[in-house]
A and B are shown apart, each in its own frame.
Chain A
Amino acid sequence: MRTLSDDETALVFTKLSKYIGSNIKSLLDRSDGLYCFRLHKGRVYYVKEDVMKVAALLPRENLVSMGVCFGKITKGKKFLLNITALEFLSPYCQHKVWVKEASEQNFMYGNHIYKSGLFRISDNTPKYAGVVVYTHNDIPMGFGVAAKSTSECRHANPMDIICFHQADIGEYIRNEDTLV
């Protein structure tokens, strides 16, 4: 476990800002204590400082996870968000996509969202912005990238992809072993 280097911090924050924009501030300045980002076995964890200090006492090989895993930094120096980050993406996200009830399962099995399955999309979503995907009754289901802006969506064909799939909560079942 170690703190993120400057490069890594930049990497993580740029990626996060695509989803939650300036709300990154609210992740760091919290009323309920100090929170920090830590790198452990190539994974980035967002964890309360007191918890992190206890974790520092434990042998590294025995520590499996702490706080919430946001994603991993690949060997090629890219930061990939994990589905586990949804916990903090969904309350702060700036652009949302809601899916029709019939297409929920489809998304939860790892497919993109088509125009036919689109229920709502938040206004002014630009093209290629990070979006959090919700069910029709507001349960966060995952996140992805808007393939079309809100205005483009209006004129899209039913089979046009509206949102590229990145992560969904179905992964908790599908990839439990490789989740973190």
Chain B
Amino acid sequence: MKNKEPESVPPKKARNWAPESEEVSDEELEEQTSGKPKSTLFDDDDDDDVNGFDEMDEDDVDSYDDAEGDAYMEEAAGKIEIQIPTIEEVEKELAENPDLANVQARIKDIAFILSDFSNRREEGRSRSEYLSIFLKDLTTYYSYNEYLMEKLLHMFGVTELVEFLEANERPRPVTIRTNTLKTRRKLLASALIDQGVDVDVIAWSKVGLVVMQTPGSVALGATPQYLAGQYLLQGASSFLPVMALAPKSGEKVLDMCAAPGGKSTHIAAIMKNTGMIVSNDVHAARVKALVGNFHRMGITNSLITNMDGRVFAKKMPGAFDRILLDAPCSGTGVISKDESVKITKDAKDIQRCSHLQRELLLAAIDSVHKYNGENGYVVYSTCSILVEENEEVIDYALRKRKVKLVPTGLEIGKPGYIHYRGHKFDPNMHLCKRVYPHAYNMDGFFVAKLKKLDDGPRIMVQEDTTEETAEEMEETEQKEEEQEEEEKKAKKGKKSGNALTGKKVLTGKK
């Protein structure tokens, strides 16, 4: 789980945040059995901006390797040990009078200790104690709620978490997408440069431009080029799901959660205004932006609808060649855009999102027609990085419908998790792509591409229950809920993912 650890550090130590001993053993087992995908998971992120923590850590790790630096570090570690107060003291300090500089220093210290725990720790203090102090400090320093911070820590490990949090404090670069229906990237770039806007091309995209600098006199959202629909302001990571969807001319494509239309208009542009794109969004107010953008960009083959995406499975089953489901999510990948995510999202929100996402994804799969050579794809994307909203949702769909994961065709992004904290997902889950703000300087994103193999629900053979025993209570609860849902669906017949059953399950749980 942890990046930037050289091979010399045993993987067991790389990630060990676990309040219960049972879990640790579980993880160890996992690391041993599936060492390969994990160790390759975060190897290649040297290209990101390195911040203070980062540099420190890398240096430490380097010097840890050679004996000379080792002694020095031992000494340094010895000094640090004294500085870490007990959890009670930290709690008291944070409650009464938090001194941010002090907290920051302590974050660095603990990150340092945890990076080589067995050598640097203070005798008699457990890792979990260090970690709970670390967690408390981080939540205070970056003002997150504890639930989210804990989730993130589980996911990233100590070093990468700090990088991630730092990346969330910085804004992402402004990127624009050329509307190929109206102009070409080269022409647009030169037109913008004429106005004094400093732009550069995005290497991995044919239509993307990144804005380096804008003069004060130019508002990028109000230039004649913008108003004439030659470009759209769009985050670079929003290109990814559309590139993964790879629509072809003449196809029928549905964008289930389309507003404000960045991805939809991208799809239409790739299809060169042939075929049909149905853009739907459930929020009437946001649909207005969709209408504006579509007309501005000169898209003529569109249908814009305002309804619940789940309805498509009933109204138009099997009607589409490709579906993009950019599901509503908690937004944990775009914290730099919306800071409120830090404190507002709790377990309930995540669960609610996850539930809706599952229903939408099943509805999407039912709305796409089955594979006939070229067609029958669903691309699922979220701007969340949590496993609950991504891999778990995909895994659920894989169990409920006859679909399989296929490669997204994207060059960037890290593979999805096959194993995550006692969960075992589909072995093809590595085909999903995860994008992190600290690794690519883009918004956090998740993209998965599913191919529909056949209509109807998948009847699963009962899976072995051994995995379940090792899982946390939370997860078993969720599984139970899923099973409950499955039973209801079985009763209701094929097209289930509707609001009614969903609500019943939710209220039943409360």
B278 touches A54 (CB 8 A): yes
- Select which of B221, B227, B300 is within 8 A of A67 by beta carbon: B300
A38 shortest CB reach to chain B, Å:
12
A16 shortest CB reach to chain B, Å:
16
Interface residues on B, range: 20 to 34
A176 touches B315 (CB 8 A): no
B303 touches A55 (CB 8 A): yes
A69–B274 alpha-carbon span in the complex (Å): 18
Q: Which residues of B contact A48 (CB under 8 A)?
A: 276, 300-301
A69 touches B288 (CB 8 A): no
A106–B221 alpha-carbon span in the complex (Å): 17
Judged by a CB distance under 8 angstroms, whether A73 is at the interface is: no
Given known A57-B315, A108-B224, A172-B296, contact A180–B291 (CB-CB < 8 A): yes
A57 touches B316 (CB 8 A): yes
Q: Which residues of A contact B285 (CB under 8 A)?
A: 177
Q: Determine which residue in A46, A67, A83 has the highest number of CB atoms from chain B within 10 A of its CB, and name it.
A: A67
Given known A64-B305, A65-B291, A65-B294, contact A139–B224 (CB-CB < 8 A): yes
Q: Determine which residue in A139, A169, A173 has the highest number of CB atoms from chain B within 10 A of its CB, and name it.
A: A139
B79 shortest CB reach to chain A, Å:
58
Q: Which residues of B contact A87 (CB under 8 A)?
A: 295, 298, 300
Judged by a CB distance under 8 angstroms, whether A179 is at the interface is: yes
A84 touches B224 (CB 8 A): no
Judged by a CB distance under 8 angstroms, whether B289 is at the interface is: yes
Given known A84-B295, A140-B228, A179-B295, contact A51–B307 (CB-CB < 8 A): no
A47–B278 alpha-carbon span in the complex (Å): 13
B56 shortest CB reach to chain A, Å:
46
Judged by a CB distance under 8 angstroms, whether B140 is at the interface is: no
Interface of B (DSSP majority class): mixed
A50 touches B305 (CB 8 A): no
Judged by a CB distance under 8 angstroms, whether B505 is at the interface is: no
Judged by a CB distance under 8 angstroms, whether B292 is at the interface is: yes
Judged by a CB distance under 8 angstroms, whether B132 is at the interface is: no
Residue of B nearest to A101 (CB): B224
A87 shortest CB reach to chain B, Å:
5
Interface residues on A, range: 35 or more
Given known A139-B228, A172-B292, A176-B289, contact A67–B302 (CB-CB < 8 A): yes
1/0 contact trace for A65-79 toward B, CB 8 Å?
A: 111110000000000
Judged by a CB distance under 8 angstroms, whether A62 is at the interface is: yes
A100 shortest CB reach to chain B, Å:
13
Within 8 A of B (CB), among A142-180: 169-170, 172-173, 176-177, 179-180
Q: Which residues of B contact A69 (CB under 8 A)?
A: 291, 295
B303 touches A51 (CB 8 A): yes
B292 touches A179 (CB 8 A): yes
B296 shortest CB reach to chain A, Å:
5
A56–B260 alpha-carbon span in the complex (Å): 24
- Select which of B222, B278, B307 is within 8 A of A173 by beta carbon: B222
Given known A54-B276, A54-B278, A58-B303, contact A176–B225 (CB-CB < 8 A): no
A30–B310 alpha-carbon span in the complex (Å): 35
A116–B293 alpha-carbon span in the complex (Å): 32
B260 shortest CB reach to chain A, Å:
10
Q: Which residues of B contact A177 (CB under 8 A)?
A: 285, 288
- Select which of A47, A58, A173 is within 8 A of B305 by beta carbon: A58
Q: Which residues of B contact A32 (CB under 8 A)?
A: 274
- Select which of A65, A135, A137 is within 8 A of B304 by beta carbon: A65
A169 touches B296 (CB 8 A): yes
B303 touches A63 (CB 8 A): yes
Q: Determine which residue in A48, A65, A68, A180 has the highest number of CB atoms from chain B within 10 A of its CB, and name it.
A: A65
A68–B278 alpha-carbon span in the complex (Å): 13
A63 touches B228 (CB 8 A): no
Q: Which residues of B contact A176 (CB under 8 A)?
A: 288-289, 292
Judged by a CB distance under 8 angstroms, whether A44 is at the interface is: no
A170 touches B316 (CB 8 A): no
A67–B306 alpha-carbon span in the complex (Å): 15
B287 touches A64 (CB 8 A): yes
Within 8 A of A (CB), among B291-329: 291-292, 294-296, 298, 300-307, 315-316, 319
Q: Which residues of B contact A67 (CB under 8 A)?
A: 300-302
Within 8 A of A (CB), among B256-308: 274, 276, 278, 285, 287-292, 294-296, 298, 300-307
Residue of B nearest to A51 (CB): B276
A135–B191 alpha-carbon span in the complex (Å): 13
Residue of A nearest to B219 (CB): A173
B414 shortest CB reach to chain A, Å:
37
A83 shortest CB reach to chain B, Å:
8
B185 shortest CB reach to chain A, Å:
16
A1 shortest CB reach to chain B, Å:
11
- Select which of B221, B291, B315 is within 8 A of A179 by beta carbon: B291
A87–B302 alpha-carbon span in the complex (Å): 14
B166 shortest CB reach to chain A, Å:
35
Q: Which residues of A contact B319 (CB under 8 A)?
A: 54
A-B contact pairs, 21 of them (CB 8 A): A32-B274, A51-B302, A54-B276, A54-B319, A58-B303, A62-B305, A63-B303, A63-B304, A64-B290, A64-B291, A64-B306, A65-B294, A65-B302, A65-B303, A139-B224, A139-B228, A169-B227, A170-B227, A172-B227, A172-B295, A177-B285
Q: Beyond A87-B295, A141-B228, list 20 extra A-B contacts (CB 8 Å).
A: A32-B274, A46-B300, A48-B301, A51-B301, A57-B316, A58-B303, A62-B306, A64-B290, A65-B302, A65-B304, A67-B301, A69-B291, A104-B224, A108-B227, A139-B228, A169-B224, A170-B222, A172-B295, A177-B288, A179-B291
4 tightest A-B CB contacts, nearest first = A169-B227, A84-B295, A62-B307, A65-B304
